[in-house]
Amino acid sequence: MIVTGDIVEVRQIRWADPTGHWGLVPTMGYLHEGHLSLVRRAKEENGYTAVTIFVNPTQFAPTEDLSSYPRNLERDLALLAAEEVDLVFTPADAIMYPPDFQTTVTVGQVSKPLEGTSRPTHFQGVATVVAKLFNIIQPTRAYFGQKDAQQTVVLRQMVRDLNFNVEMIICPTVREADGLAMSSRNAYLTPEQRQAATVLYRALTAASNAYAQGERSGGRLRQIMSTTVATEPLARLDYASAADPLTLQELEQVESGVLFSLAVFFGKTRLIDNMVIA
């Protein structure tokens, strides 16, 4: 496994075998089984696998948790070596964003609702860094988690609009035994908050169950989620959404598919989760 922060070296390794297929897994590190599920899928489907570890400053607002974001590069590299990853790209901030950096990628409508309302600059940072990683590594396929549902919609849109020659593969959300979606940010939770955090999964499950029993009112499905979250004293709801899975617009009436999604604060820690019904 080669670990480098150097773009020229990445390109040399990437093109050493010009006919080889590369799978790319972009991450911000502090790896867990969710990340590793993407790595394993990439390994299965490609001759070579690259993982990037980069806590991308441009996707954090000044008020957010960039400086406290959990990091443990040594442990991450040990986990990736055990998976027999070929290449780990760990660029410094100044490599990705040199002082004269001045180009950004802005995806339109699908960036605006949900996370975009609470974090208005977030997806511009995500789209820009992923565009850069695609250009640096030029993967055949790129692997993302359904955990970040809107991110997958925004990045698919970017790939279509800008004609990136990359196949986007979306992998299912990996959960703890009690349903909590794995996330690097779970490390911030106190034991009491960790217990309370199962309310996201409980709220999503309640909405899915109501849907399975015939409930089709978007308003009532959103209310089922928000009232479930309200039963948990340590939780503060940011949003509860029942939206079209492609446009991310809120649905008044569910006709075909629906994306249930939630953002919930526990103290300063903000967790997101979702379930999609096709």
Q: Considering only CA atoms, which of 210, 206, 243, 208 is closest in space to residue 228?
A: 206
Q: Which residues of 50-75 are buried (b: 16+ CB within 10 A; e: fewer)?
A: bbbbbbbebbbeeeeeeeebeeeeee
**At residue 246, what is the residue type?**
L
**Which residue number has the CB closest to ligand AMP?**
145
- Contact between 245 and ligand AMP by CB under 6 A: the answer reads no
DSSP state of 254: -
Specify the residue, 38 or 240, whose C-beta has the smaller distance to ligand AMP: 38
187 half-sphere exposure, CB direction, 13 A CA radius = 13
Alpha-carbon distance of 40 to 193, in angstroms, equals 30
CB of 268 to ligand AMP, least distance (A): 17
What part of residues 93-152 is at the interface with ligand AMP (CB under 6 A)? Answer: 144-145, 147-148
Q: Which residue bears the tokens 């004269």?
A: 100
Contacts with ligand AMP: how many residues (CB under 6 A)? 17
**At residue 36, what is the residue type?**
L
CB of 146 to ligand AMP, least distance (A): 6
35 is annotated as an active-site residue: yes
CB of 233 to ligand AMP, least distance (A): 25
- Contact between 91 and ligand AMP by CB under 6 A: the answer reads no
181 burial level (CB within 10 Å; 0-12, 13-18, 19+): buried
- Contact between 248 and ligand AMP by CB under 6 A: the answer reads no
**Stretch 145-184: interaction string toward ligand AMP, x if CB under 6 A:** x-xx----------------------x-xx------xxxx
In what helix (H) or strand (E) does residue 43 lie, and over which residues does it extend? helix 33-45
Specify the residue, 221 or 260, whose C-beta has the smaller distance to ligand AMP: 260
Specify the residue, 34 or 116, whose C-beta has the smaller distance to ligand AMP: 34
- Between helix 122-137 and helix 7-14 the angle, nearest 10°, is 50
Taking CB under 6 A as the criterion, the residue among 23, 34, 113, 218 binding ligand AMP is 34
In what helix (H) or strand (E) does residue 4 lie, and over which residues does it extend? strand 2-4
Specify the residue, 187 or 230, whose C-beta has the smaller distance to ligand AMP: 187
* Residues forming the site for ligand AMP (CB under 6 A): 27-28, 34-35, 37-38, 144-145, 147-148, 171, 173-174, 181-184
Positions marked active-site: 35
